[in-house]
Structure 1
Amino acid sequence: MKNIIDLFYKNLFLTNRLFAGLTGSAVLFLLSFFFPWMGVIPELVFWVLMILFVIDIFMLYQTSKGVFAKRHAPERLSNSDNNELGVYIENWYTFGISVGIIDEIPFQFQKRDIWFKTSLKPRERKLINYTLRPTRRGEYEFGDIRVYVKSPLGLVRRRYNFSQAETLPVYPSFLQMRKYELMAISNRLTDIGIKKIRRIGHSLEFEQVKTYVQGDDYRTINWKASARQGSLMVNSYTDEKSQHVYCIIDKSRAMKMPFDGLSLLDYAINASLVLSNVALLKEDKAGLITMSEKPGAIVPADRRPAHLNKILEVLYKEKTRYLETNMELLYSTVRKVVKQRSLVVFFTNYESLNALNRQLPFLKRIAKYHLLLVVFFENTELKKLSEQPAADVEGIYIKTIAEKFAYDKRLIVKELAKHGIQSILSAPQNLTVNTINRYLEIKSKQKI
């Protein structure tokens, strides 16, 4: 009995309408001292309010289950993307109600405004949708759903608690990966900045002999087949397949720098996932290596149907470390794991030319055996400072230093090119598009 009473009090909340009524009743009692002619009007108003108060409580508590609510959430969330969730609610009362809903979202979002207001007719049901954008990979714990119900009288609220605690994993941006995949299928990659690369020369991958049509390259005419068929026949070629594409992700402290809520490591992980998916669609083999001061995860290149999920599961667990990358260990790992000439995409970050010079000897060794593409990040905040006009002497100093760092980034690109190493200097938000463009260009020029 005591538990029932405690439960009743804990879930009963008074509304502003009730307090407004009590305030009005108190004012009437006060005025009755100065105006005797008001008589019993204040008492009548007060007792009518109390009767309505009791009726309102009875209406809300006449049934043990007046509403039903449930959270609709995906099995996993996509990092850095807007993930759609929903709260399904159903009114089991015989009258219309006003509802306030609190969904206890994970603390990582630091949001306290997940409060939804709606009204429901008798036996009506609704689905309230909202979006969440996580900025860190890992496990996110959701709490209960709390529903506050108010009858048409609106003097009190009754709270319903629906225990729906669940833990959802946040994976690298698989929604972004699917977006690129769908746009590739519908031939609309140019809408998001993917360039159509002109094919140069011929691939060595023979496809078929077909009948000549106007526009075919006459240099590909197969004269023997033409003599047998009595009409012109040409050889058809396709892009080389089963080439190895390895993404190497630097997990050192250089990748901890934040941008728009995400770390540079997260941008590199998202780009690696999309690049691996594009490589598999091109029938190449995708592999992955993560590295810091000690070896990380290694996924040998493959193109089996479940291979992308394997890469996704590995990337889900990766975190930034706080020491510099052991480049000697990275070189020995690449030599041990990557057995044939491959495209090696190294995601890292350099803030100065000295930082590059410490790693350059090992990069040159890797480039000796593989086609190395170094991807590093443009400091967009420094770029904004360098473009702003200086208002005083301090502003001149700040602008000069910002331009110096931006110039160092361009020098790094030239230094890598001098040693035959390709590079991409990209803003974090454009990293995925720029990386895919360079991969398609390399495939088109048959450089691997």
Structure 2
Amino acid sequence: MKSLFSLYYKNLFLTTRLFIGLGGAAVLYLLSFFFTWLGQIPAIFFFTLIVLLIIDLWMLYGTSNGIFAKRHAPERLSNGDDNEIGIYIENFYNFKVSTGIIDEIPHQFQKRDVLFQTTLTSHQHKLLNYVLRPTKRGEYEFGYVRVYVQAPLGLVNRRFNFEQGQTLAVYPSFLQMRKYELMAISNRLNEYGIKKIRRLGNSMEFEQIKNYVAGDDFRTLNWKASARRGELMVNNYTDEKSQHVYCVIDKSRTMKMPFEGLSLLDYAINASLVLSSVALIKQDKAGLITASDQKGAVIPADRRPTQLNKIMEVLYKEKTRYMETNMELLYTTIRNTLKQRSLVVFFTNFESMSALQRQLPFLQRIAKFHLLVLVFFENTELKKISEQPACNVEGIYIKTIAEKFAYEKKLIVKELARHGIQSILSAPQNLTVNTINRYLELKARQKI
């Protein structure tokens, strides 16, 4: 009996309307000492309020399961994207109720305002949706769904607790990956900023022999097939297939810098996942290597249906380390893993020319055997500072330093080009588009 009472007591909350009523009764009792004509009005008002309170309690607690609520969430969340979460709620009371719904979202979001106010008529149900944008990979724990119900009298609230402890894994941006997958399948990548590249020459990858139609290149005529069929036949060529595309991700301290909530490592991981997906759709083989001061994960290039899941599972667990990358170890790993000429997209970051000079000898060795594309990041915060007008001497100094660092990034691009290494200097938010652009360009120019 005691536990039942404590259960009701813990879930009972008094409203502002009840406190206003009690305050009004207290004022009436106080005034009755000075104005005798009030007589029994204060007592009548107070006891009427008590009766209404009892009726309100009976309405709320007369039905044991008056409200049902449930959270609808996907099996996993996509890092850096808007993920839609839904709350289903249904009213089993025989009267209209006002509800306040609190969803206990994971502590990583640091939000305490996920509160929804809605009304439900008898036996009505609703689906309330909201959006969460995680910025870190890992496990996110959801707590209770709590519903505060108010009857028409509105003197008290009854709380319903729906224990729905839920742990969702936040994976690299698979929503972004699916978007680019659809674009690649339908050959509409240019709609998302992926530029079209003028094809130089003909690919040597034979696809089929087909009938000649006006406009076909005469140089592709197949005279033997034409003689057999008695009509002109031409060879049809397609892009080279089964080329090896490796994403190499630097996990050193230079990749820990945050932009718009996501670290540079997360931007690199999201871009690597999308690039691997597009490469597999283009019938190339995708692989992955992670690097830091120690040997990281290595997934040899393949195009099996399970390859993308392997890459995603590895990327899900990767974290930045606080040491510099061991470039000698990375070079050895690449030489031992890559048995043929491949496209190596190396995601890293340089803030100064001296940082590049330390790694340049190893980058030159990698570029000697493979097509190396070095991807590093533009510091958008410094760019904003350099574009702002200076108001005083301190502002001039800060702007000059910002412009110096921005200019040094451009010098790094020129230094890499001087040694025959291709590079992409990209703002973090444009990384995926710029990386796919370069991959399609190299494929169209038959550089791989």
Structure-1-length-normalised TM-score: 0.98
In structure 2, C-alpha distance between the alignment counterparts of 1:307 and 1:70, rounded to whole Å: 35
In structure 1, C-alpha distance between the alignment counterparts of 2:39 and 2:89, rounded to whole Å: 48
1:239 alignment counterpart: 239
1:327 alignment counterpart: 327
In structure 2, C-alpha distance between the alignment counterparts of 1:188 and 1:244, rounded to whole Å: 23
Deviation at 1:102, TM superposition (A): 0.8
1:292 alignment counterpart: 292
List structure 1 segments (4+ residues) > 4 angstroms apart after TM superposition: none
1:67 alignment counterpart: 67
In structure 2, C-alpha distance between the alignment counterparts of 1:188 and 1:234, rounded to whole Å: 27
Deviation at 1:439, TM superposition (A): 0.2
Q: Tell me which amino acid in the other structure corresponds to 1:432.
A: T
Q: Deviations for 1:57-77, whole angstroms, at most 9, x for unmatched residues?
A: 111111221111111111100
Deviation at 1:388, TM superposition (A): 1.4
Q: Deviations for 1:248-298, whole angstroms, at most 9, x for unmatched residues?
A: 000000000000000000000000000000000000000000010001111
Find the residue that maps to 2:312 and give its secondary structure. Answer: helix
1:150 alignment counterpart: 150
Answer whether contact 2:184 2:281 (CA < 8 A) is retained.
no
Q: Tell me which amino acid in the other structure corresponds to 2:360.
A: L
In structure 2, C-alpha distance between the alignment counterparts of 1:23 and 1:106, rounded to whole Å: 39
2:78 alignment counterpart: 78
Q: Tell me which amino acid in the other structure corresponds to 1:87.
A: I
2:404 alignment counterpart: 404
1:43 alignment counterpart: 43
Unaligned residue ranges in structure 2 (runs of 5+): none
In structure 2, C-alpha distance between the alignment counterparts of 1:387 and 1:59, rounded to whole Å: 64
1:269 alignment counterpart: 269
2:438 alignment counterpart: 438
Q: Cα RMSD (Å) of the superposition?
A: 1.0
In structure 1, C-alpha distance between the alignment counterparts of 2:216 and 2:22, rounded to whole Å: 89
Q: Tell me which amino acid in the other structure corresponds to 1:322.
A: Y
Q: Tell me which amino acid in the other structure corresponds to 1:74.
A: P
2:307 alignment counterpart: 307
Find the residue that maps to 1:183 and give its secondary structure. Answer: helix
Deviation at 1:183, TM superposition (A): 2.6
In structure 1, C-alpha distance between the alignment counterparts of 2:349 and 2:172, rounded to whole Å: 20
In structure 2, C-alpha distance between the alignment counterparts of 1:271 and 1:349, rounded to whole Å: 15
Deviation at 1:187, TM superposition (A): 4.2
Number of aligned residue pairs: 448
Find the residue that maps to 1:359 and give its secondary structure. Answer: helix
Find the residue that maps to 1:167 and give its secondary structure. Answer: strand
Deviation at 1:234, TM superposition (A): 1.6
In structure 1, C-alpha distance between the alignment counterparts of 2:99 and 2:396, rounded to whole Å: 57
Q: Deviations for 1:387-434, whole angstroms, at most 9, x for unmatched residues?
A: 112222111111111111111101111111111111000000000000
1:188 alignment counterpart: 188
Deviation at 1:230, TM superposition (A): 3.1
Find the residue that maps to 2:33 and give its secondary structure. Answer: helix
Find the residue that maps to 2:160 and give its secondary structure. Answer: strand
Find the residue that maps to 1:304 and give its secondary structure. Answer: coil
The answer to whether residue 376 in structure 2 is matched with residue 376 in structure 1 is: yes
Answer whether contact 2:185 2:281 (CA < 8 A) is retained.
no
Q: Deviations for 1:74-119, whole angstroms, at most 9, x for unmatched residues?
A: 1100000000011111111111111111111000000000111111
Deviation at 1:8, TM superposition (A): 1.2
In structure 1, C-alpha distance between the alignment counterparts of 2:447 and 2:421, rounded to whole Å: 12
In structure 2, C-alpha distance between the alignment counterparts of 1:433 and 1:192, rounded to whole Å: 8
Q: Tell me which amino acid in the other structure corresponds to 1:146.
A: R
In structure 1, C-alpha distance between the alignment counterparts of 2:188 and 2:123, rounded to whole Å: 45
Deviation at 1:186, TM superposition (A): 4.1
Structure-2-length-normalised TM-score: 0.98
In structure 1, C-alpha distance between the alignment counterparts of 2:386 and 2:368, rounded to whole Å: 37
In structure 2, C-alpha distance between the alignment counterparts of 1:2 and 1:159, rounded to whole Å: 19
1:118 alignment counterpart: 118
Deviation at 1:191, TM superposition (A): 2.5
Answer whether contact 2:284 2:303 (CA < 8 A) is retained.
yes
